[in-house]
Amino acid sequence: MKKRLVKTISAVLAGVMACTVAACGKPAEEDAWLEKACPDKDETAEELYEKALQENILVVYTVSTRATKTKEAFEAAYPGLCVEIRDLRSPDLVEEVEKNYYSGNSDCDVIICNDNSGEFKSRIVDTGIAVPYLPSDIAGKMKDPESNVMGSFTYEAEMLFYNSAKYDECPIENIWELVNEEYKDRIYMPNPLHSFSTYAFCGGLMCVEDELAGAYKELYGSEPDTDGMSVTDYFWKRVSENIVFTNSSDEVLEALGSGSADFGFMVSSKQRFAGLGYDMAPVYRLEPFSGCRTSYSAMIARNSDNINSAKLFIRFLYGESDGKGEGYKPFSTDGTWSVRTDIPDGNDVPLDEIDLFVPDQDVLTENREYLEKFWTGILETKA
């Protein structure tokens, strides 16, 4: 059973590699890089370490500062290897990686990015600019082989939180209640045009529009009068009147913590700061959805000069073969869920007990122009 799964994953990965290379018509030297990189070759951590010692400093582009903890653990586990972390916001990371690639620059070795908006997939993965790497000893332990194509190493969610200092329990049961006037300027949310996970949630609602409409009917007993708009657009148009847009989830967390917000949409991993005294609690049950599932990818940047270090780092990030490695631990916190069967979830409540949907990335990619225009319009009304 396991062997079959491994084979499936390997076939998927090989397929992705073949497609990306063929689709892009890479020049000979890049195919040579791929040949040299051998992302599908099985190598032990010891073998990679030995070769990595001959390489240069490993540069990691990441959207998560938790990677700095992985770096520290990696450098301690593999003396002689150095990692440089560059923290970037998702859209900027994609931009930088693309820029590097097209200018022939091999500045980045490993990419850690939120992969849910379709942007990462269409611009970086489908074009072959990032190359997935998943050794078979780990691949066989993944919960969902499909997500391996994207090099997902942890699951998270973009979801609703409420102010737990103000409310003993979540004061709403239906997402449409967020349009109530009492929540004017009391809901905080990152600008979806600058946050991949927020974009995935905002745009992804169009994939589950029937459920959204059903929730309206359940609450108000009739169909929404959308004045020709789609139900999703109508929902966002109404609720955005109550929203204060922020740059990132950190600001949402701080607004909840300071009492400025009653609700906030943010990445679930911010839950790890609840112990710091930020008064917020996740909304696990909400009609029809509290948010969407998201994930983080780790991939090798094509043309990386430090391929063995990159592979070793990604193995480490996945928690090594036995799942007990230190590299994944910074990511195993409240508000995260493991992608592996042999690593327990960081969050007490499992994913299937939370009202989340999984956005269709292809739909997001196809509708990008429309969604950008729509959200630009929304943001303009707030200006």
Partner 1 sequence: MNRKICKLLTIVLTISLLYVPGCGFGSQPEILHVAIPYSDNIPDIDTNYYINYLEEKTGIDIVVSFVKIESCDEYLKMLFDSGAEIDIVLFGGSFVPGDGVLEEYASRGDIYLPDGEYKYVSEGWDTPAGAGTVLWINKEWLVNLGMPIPKTSDELEDVLEAFKTGDPNGNGIHDEIPLAGSAGEYDLNPVEFLMGSFAINDPYHSRMTADGKRIWADPAYRDGIEYCRGLYEKGLMDKGVFDCSYGQLCEMVNSPVPIVGAFTSSSIGDVIYRGNPEVMARYVHVPPLTGPAGEAYAMIPENKHKIGAIILSRSEKKEEAQLLLDTMMSEEASLIARFGEPGVDWDYSDGKDISIYMTPSTIITKNYIRDVVQNKNLNGVGPMAVPEKYIYGVTWNGLNSDAEYVDARAQMAYMDFFVDPGGELPVGNAELSEYLDRHMIAFVTGEEDVRSDSIWREYVSGAEEILH
Site string (220-259) toward partner 1, x via CB under 8 A: ------------------------xxxxx-xx--x---x-
DSSP 285: -
Q: Decide: is 277 part of the binding site for partner 1 (CB under 8 A).
A: yes
Q: Decide: is 119 part of the binding site for partner 1 (CB under 8 A).
A: no
Measured distance CA(114)–CA(96) in Å, rounded: 15
Find the binder of partner 1 among 44, 56, 341, 376 (CB under 8 A).
376
Counting residues that bind partner 1 (by CB under 8 A) gives: 34
Measured distance CA(143)–CA(335) in Å, rounded: 18
C-beta atoms surrounding 308 within 10 Å: 21
Q: Whose CA is closest to 21, among 100, 113, 131?
A: 131
DSSP 197: H
* Close Cβ partners of 50 (under 8 Å, ≥ 6 residues apart): none
Find the binder of partner 1 among 273, 281, 329, 368 (CB under 8 A).
273
Site string (2-41) toward partner 1, x via CB under 8 A: ----------------------------------------
CB of 52 to partner 1, least distance (A): 21
Q: Decide: is 326 part of the binding site for partner 1 (CB under 8 A).
A: no
Tokens 């390997």 belong to 10
Q: How far is residue 353 CA from its own chain's centroid?
A: 20
Nearer to partner 1, 107 or 287 (CB): 107
Q: Decide: is 275 part of the binding site for partner 1 (CB under 8 A).
A: yes
Nearer to partner 1, 45 or 81 (CB): 81
Do the strands 291-301 and 110-114 form a parallel or antiparallel pair, or are they unpaired?
Answer: antiparallel
Residues from 71 through 100 that contact partner 1 (CB under 8 A)? 71-72, 85-89, 91-92
Measured distance CA(91)–CA(85) in Å, rounded: 17
Measured distance CA(63)–CA(195) in Å, rounded: 10
In the complex, the residues that contact partner 1 under the rule CB under 8 A are 65, 68, 71-72, 85-89, 91-92, 191, 193-194, 244-248, 250-251, 254, 258, 272-273, 275-278, 376, 379-380, 382-383
